[in-house]
Chain A
Amino acid sequence: MSTENAARWPRLPRRLAGWDAAVVALTVLTLLVASGAVDEFGTTRNATFLILDLAPVLLLALPMTLIVVSGEIDLSVASTVGLTSALMGELWAGGLPLETIVPLAVLAGAVLGAFNGLLVTVLGLPSLAVTIGTLALYRGLAYVLLGDTAVADFARDYTRWANGSLGGGWVPNVVPPILLLVVAFALALHATPVGRAIFAMGANDTAAAFAGIPVERTKFLLYVVSGAVAGLVGVYWTLRYSTARADNAEGLELTVVAAVLLGGVSIYGGRGTLLGVVAGVVLLTSLQNALRLAKVSADALTVITGTLLILSVLLPNVSAALGARLRRRTPAPPPSPSPPTPAARTAVPLPEPTRRDGRP
């Protein structure tokens, strides 16, 4: 235990010097440059819109971070948003009050997430394949509910709240609840036994299971939470644009996954911080916003997003490989009991994407 701690402490500064710190710095830099170079960007009016646009991706990225750290993935989140939004439209058209509809929509999201969780944990199916299946299934069910029609006449009080600001200022009403969720997820991941368990199962879920961590149950709950948050985003999306359509939030899952990976979370699980992910989300959306204001076409953004995503993994790998090569040239230092350097660790062949297959 004490050696474990000794091994952990020197790692801390290196961690901070890692990719998540780079993303935070890049985000701050982007915000500064954008406010300097793009006239409209720094205005409070734009900040309001930026936050409203950022909210769905940020909310979906929170449970996605936990799921990816645990070694799984959920590609069905945007379809869950679409289906709960369609369900809201259907119920509203059926005459139910929003006070009843909103909890029902969140509950529906949780049920959809539970279905993913059941397939992944009880049947032991690979989450990538399962959630590609439910991505199609949930989106399809949204189309079955609403077809190509839209429900638009939602209660004014609610849609006004979703678009409105605190006390008539520039800070949107949705900021306090979102901040609350961000803090809750950050604490859950970084300051609770559950969070440690999520990291442990992401690093090696067989070892985690032998250490007494309820791997299956935790993963199941993560999918339920992911579904419930997606249901919440479905409610927000519907009210924000005041329309329930089957194609709401279509394709958003890729943006969410891109933001999470850009934030420094390892796709193989076991590594990542929520701070990095929040920075990744802000970076992506503010870049998009600034480029749009600067009348740069959205195509440039797509190319930049993709390139950043690849570089976020490629650069550390390349620098690790170069470092290893340099060290091999210089005479080997006497063996020391110190833990392997991060460079040496990442130069080791990457672990396999899933350990589930290997199990009997």
Chain B
Amino acid sequence: MTVAGRPPERERGGAALLDAVLRFRALGLLVALVLLVAVTWLANSRFLSAQSIRDILLATALTLLLACGMTMVVVGRGIDLSVASVLGLSAFGTATVLADHPGLPVPLAALVGLAIGAACGTVNGLVIAYGRVPALVATLGTLYVFRGLVYFLAGGSRISAGELPRGFLDFGTARVLGVPWLFLIAVAVLLAVGEFLRRHRAGRDLYAIGSHEEAARLAGLPIPSRLLLAYVVSGTLAGLGGVLYAARYGTVDASAGYGMELDIVAAVVVGGVAIFGGSGSVYGAALGALLLTVINNALPVLGVDPFWQRAVVGALIIAAIALDRLVALRVAASLRGRDDAHVH
């Protein structure tokens, strides 16, 4: 479930050890998650009521969706800070189209949002992969540009639930066997991206590029097109996120999703995806997204001042990367110990 970034052609023992570490990482997240849920449930049994679980799943769906795209980008040693702005642009665009053409079938409206996202992702990808602009600079720039476009289009107005067709809003709250549709969509995306990163050629290439771009270039990997793909997927998923955002909240203004990019990066980092590329899995990122959402929902139940939420998230990010570093040092030390065992 967690195997990713396995270095090729490493000695067997080392690979197995790395495997074990990555498993341990996901296991740690899972244990933390279960403990948190258990403690919160003991404090208030309504935390595990069907409605409360549905709320958590709904809230996770958006983060999860964007975290999938972000994982692809970060694994290839990039970052996409523009996702929240893309989500805002897509949410507002989709809502505007639906408000103007109430007869439009919902899937077609969703395509509008996806197309907006794909276009934004293409801009990012072209500038980064072919223009050789560092990802942090490029997506910081498009964070401003795309958000500015939303404000420009909206001009202070908002689209309220009353202007959107009933069918679209129903889709935002619809459930299958009690599970929200939005969450199912996010899980489907998660499985697809997970499979892509794990087995597909282009997915493996992203790990190679993230581990050592120069080596990947010398090995003949088509680096620009792979990076472009990662940013287009990230943008498209943010576009899909915008559609789901509009369907779920009904009311959309220019600030939709504002500041969300940090939550997404946090989820990915907490989920064990190395910020400088080459390792991590989308399932880890999913666990990270779930953990952050559960924390947000559990703190009020536990009677903790809600003002603590951000501080806890920040502390969690630091703890996660510090733990990763310590484990990595341990592994490196133990691998060295194997190589020159005669020293001991």
Q: Which of A278-314 contact B (CB under 8 A)?
A: 297-303, 305-310, 313-314
B82 to chain A, nearest CB (A): 9
B299 to chain A, nearest CB (A): 11
Specify which of B136, B151, B275, B318 is in contact with A267 (CB 8 Å cutoff): B136
Q: Does A130 contact B (CB under 8 A)?
A: yes
Q: Does A360 contact B (CB under 8 A)?
A: yes
What separation, in Å, do the CA atoms of A251 and B259 have in the docked complex? 9
State whether B314 touches A138 (Cβ < 8 A). Answer: yes
Q: Does B266 contact A (CB under 8 A)?
A: yes
Q: Which residues of B contact A357 (CB under 8 A)?
A: 274, 276
Q: Which residues of A contact B318 (CB under 8 A)?
A: 119, 130, 133-134, 137
State whether B148 touches A119 (Cβ < 8 A). Answer: no
Q: Which residues of B contact A360 (CB under 8 A)?
A: 332, 336
Specify which of A141, A143, A299, A309 is in contact with B141 (CB 8 Å cutoff): A309
Q: Which residues of B contact A42 (CB under 8 A)?
A: none
What separation, in Å, do the CA atoms of A302 and B269 have in the docked complex? 28
Specify which of A136, A309, A354 is in contact with B262 (CB 8 Å cutoff): A136
Q: Does B132 contact A (CB under 8 A)?
A: yes
With A140-B309, A300-B152 already in contact, the answer to whether A257 and B262 are too (CB < 8 A) is no
Q: Does A176 contact B (CB under 8 A)?
A: no
Specify which of A129, A139, A354 is in contact with B321 (CB 8 Å cutoff): A129
B266 to chain A, nearest CB (A): 7
With A307-B145, A360-B332 already in contact, the answer to whether A314 and B269 are too (CB < 8 A) is no
Q: Which residues of B contact A254 (CB under 8 A)?
A: 140, 143-144
Q: Does B108 contact A (CB under 8 A)?
A: no
State whether B137 touches A261 (Cβ < 8 A). Answer: yes
State whether A126 touches B311 (Cβ < 8 A). Answer: no
Q: Does A144 contact B (CB under 8 A)?
A: yes
A-B contact count (CB 8 A): 167
Chain A interface category by residue count: 35 or more
With A126-B276, A353-B276 already in contact, the answer to whether A309 and B140 are too (CB < 8 A) is yes
Interface of B is mostly: helix
Contact with A along B301-330 (1 / 0, CB 8 A): 000010111111111011001100110000
What separation, in Å, do the CA atoms of A49 and B312 have in the docked complex? 38
B136 to chain A, nearest CB (A): 6
A298 to chain B, nearest CB (A): 8
Q: Does B131 contact A (CB under 8 A)?
A: yes
What separation, in Å, do the CA atoms of A136 and B292 have in the docked complex? 13
State whether B127 touches A132 (Cβ < 8 A). Answer: no
State whether B315 touches A137 (Cβ < 8 A). Answer: yes
State whether B314 touches A135 (Cβ < 8 A). Answer: yes
> Considering only CB atoms, which chain A residue lies closest to B259 in the complex?
A251
A268 to chain B, nearest CB (A): 7
Q: Which residues of B contact A307 (CB under 8 A)?
A: 141, 145
Instruction: Point out which of A143, A297, A302, A350 has the most chain B C-beta atoms below 10 A from its C-beta.
Output: A302
What separation, in Å, do the CA atoms of A318 and B132 have in the docked complex? 9
State whether B259 touches A303 (Cβ < 8 A). Answer: no
Q: Does B25 contact A (CB under 8 A)?
A: no
State whether B310 touches A136 (Cβ < 8 A). Answer: yes
A310 to chain B, nearest CB (A): 4
Q: Which residues of B contact A308 (CB under 8 A)?
A: 141
State whether A268 touches B312 (Cβ < 8 A). Answer: no
State whether A314 touches B131 (Cβ < 8 A). Answer: yes
Contact with A along B127-164 (1 / 0, CB 8 A): 10001111011101111111111011001000000000
> Considering only CB atoms, which chain A residue lies closest to B154 in the complex?
A299
State whether B317 touches A306 (Cβ < 8 A). Answer: no
Q: Does B55 contact A (CB under 8 A)?
A: no
Contact with B along A240-284 (1 / 0, CB 8 A): 000000100001001001100100000110000000000000000
A355 to chain B, nearest CB (A): 10
State whether A136 touches B305 (Cβ < 8 A). Answer: no
Q: Which residues of B contact A144 (CB under 8 A)?
A: 305, 307-308, 311
Q: Does B19 contact A (CB under 8 A)?
A: no
State whether B311 touches A143 (Cβ < 8 A). Answer: yes
> Considering only CB atoms, which chain B residue lies closest to A146 in the complex?
B307
Q: Which residues of B contact A124 (CB under 8 A)?
A: 325
Specify which of B133, B259, B307 is in contact with A143 (CB 8 Å cutoff): B307
Q: Which of B214-268 contact A (CB under 8 A)?
A: 214, 217, 259, 262, 265-266
What separation, in Å, do the CA atoms of A268 and B307 have in the docked complex? 35
State whether A306 touches B143 (Cβ < 8 A). Answer: yes
Q: Which residues of A contact B151 (CB under 8 A)?
A: 297-299, 302
Specify which of A139, A302, A353 is in contact with B147 (CB 8 Å cutoff): A302
What separation, in Å, do the CA atoms of A268 and B137 have in the docked complex? 10
Specify which of A119, A140, A258 is in contact with B313 (CB 8 Å cutoff): A140
What separation, in Å, do the CA atoms of A258 and B311 have in the docked complex? 25
Q: Does B77 contact A (CB under 8 A)?
A: yes
Q: Which residues of B contact A314 (CB under 8 A)?
A: 127, 131, 133
State whether B308 touches A140 (Cβ < 8 A). Answer: yes
Q: Does A128 contact B (CB under 8 A)?
A: yes
Q: Does A44 contact B (CB under 8 A)?
A: no
The 10 closest A-B pairs by CB, nearest first: A137-B314, A140-B311, A306-B144, A140-B310, A302-B148, A136-B314, A133-B317, A306-B145, A303-B148, A299-B151
Q: Can you give 16 contacting A-B residue pairs, CB < 8 Å?
A: A124-B325, A128-B275, A132-B262, A133-B266, A133-B269, A133-B321, A136-B262, A137-B314, A137-B315, A298-B151, A300-B148, A303-B152, A306-B140, A313-B131, A317-B131, A317-B132
10 further A-B contacts with Cβ under 8 Å, apart from A302-B147, A306-B148, are: A134-B314, A136-B314, A139-B310, A261-B140, A297-B152, A299-B149, A303-B149, A309-B140, A310-B138, A317-B133
User: Which residues from chain B sit less than 8 Å from chain A, CB to CB?
Assistant: 77, 79, 127, 131-134, 136-138, 140-149, 151-152, 155, 213-214, 217, 259, 262, 265-266, 269, 274-276, 305, 307-315, 317-318, 321-322, 325-326, 332, 336
